[in-house]
């Protein structure tokens, strides 16, 4: 296949692939997905993109429609993605992870749905078994760059996780969470106190509104 100047751009900016790639590039991507699927336990919805520069070595991978895995991402173990999910450059998704629809994962984020046992003192940690509780991420979740999510966490739908956050406990739906450890600083469904007061004053017609 002839390589265009945009070929490697798609590995790092895959969201533009299906609207701007050549017919040959699209066919090459479909052939790549077929080769991955032939290994077993991998399924892909329509208009998915998996960079050839990504490390995709799952026991099971199920990608919905319009999903992508960008360059230098690392995917292993068991991953189920809804529709229109993204794993951006150098993100790591390992262990048992389930995503709803519209989950967007920023670059250099680690979502680790497994852990190392270290109970036995007379055995090196690397020789002790892994444990898998799993991570569940709801619909319409934006996870910023450089976030770490540890095993056993559930992130509610419509939430935002700020860049660099370390998520060690469940995040309720509609939350904005930041920090280390991550804490909820806002509920997206609730208006600020100032806006609540302004809204009440408008209802009482105490604030002039232009027609």
Residue-level pLDDT at 8: 85
Query: What own/partner pairs with CB < 8 Å and gap ≥ 24 does 91-99 have?
Result: 95/132, 95/134, 95/135, 95/151, 96/132, 96/133, 96/134, 96/135, 97/134, 97/135, 97/137, 98/134, 98/135, 98/136, 98/137, 99/137, 99/141
**pLDDT for residue 164 is more than 90:** yes
**pLDDT for residue 151 is more than 50:** yes
Question: Which residue, among 67, 2, 81, has the nearest Cα to 33 in the 3D structure?
Answer: 67
**pLDDT for residue 199 is more than 80:** no
- Annotated catalytic, 116? yes
Give Cα separations from 64 to 48, 80, 83 (angstroms).
Answer: 8, 8, 4
Say if residues 105 and 86 touch (Cβ distance below 8 Å): yes
Confidence tier at 14 by pLDDT (50, 70, 90)? very high
Catalytic residue among 72, 77, 108, 116: 116
CATH number of 7-203: 2.160.10.10
Confidence tier at 3 by pLDDT (50, 70, 90)? low
**pLDDT for residue 97 is more than 90:** yes
DSSP summary character for residue 171:
B
| 52-70 pLDDT per residue, tens | 999 999 999 999 999 999 9
Pair of tokens at residue 197: 């007061």
**pLDDT for residue 211 is more than 50:** no
**pLDDT for residue 191 is more than 90:** no
């Amino acid at each position: 296949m002839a390589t265009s100047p945009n070929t490697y751009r798609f590995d790092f900016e895959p969201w533009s692939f299906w609207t701007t790639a050549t017919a040959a590039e699209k066919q090459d991507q479909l052939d790549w997905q077929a080769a991955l699927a032939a290994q077993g336990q991998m399924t892909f919805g329509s208009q998915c993109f998996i960079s050839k520069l990504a490390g995709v070595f799952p026991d099971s991978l199920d990608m919905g429609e319009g999903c992508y895995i960008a360059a230098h991402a690392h995917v292993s173990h068991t991953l189920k993605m809804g529709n229109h999910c993204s794993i951006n450059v150098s993100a790591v998704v390992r262990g048992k992870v389930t995503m709803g629809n519209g989950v967007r994962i920023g670059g250099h984020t680690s979502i680790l749905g497994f852990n190392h046992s270290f109970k036995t003192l007379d055995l090196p940690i690397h020789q002790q078994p892994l444990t898998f509780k799993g991570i569940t991420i709801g619909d319409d979740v934006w996870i910023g760059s450089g976030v770490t999510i540890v095993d056993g966490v559930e992130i509610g739908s419509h939430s935002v996780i700020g860049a660099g956050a370390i998520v060690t406990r469940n995040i309720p739906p509609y939350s904005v969470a930041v920090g280390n450890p991550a804490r909820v600083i806002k509920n997206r469904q609730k208006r600020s106190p100032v806006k609540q007061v302004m809204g009440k004053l408008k209802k009482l017609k105490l604030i002039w509104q232009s027609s």
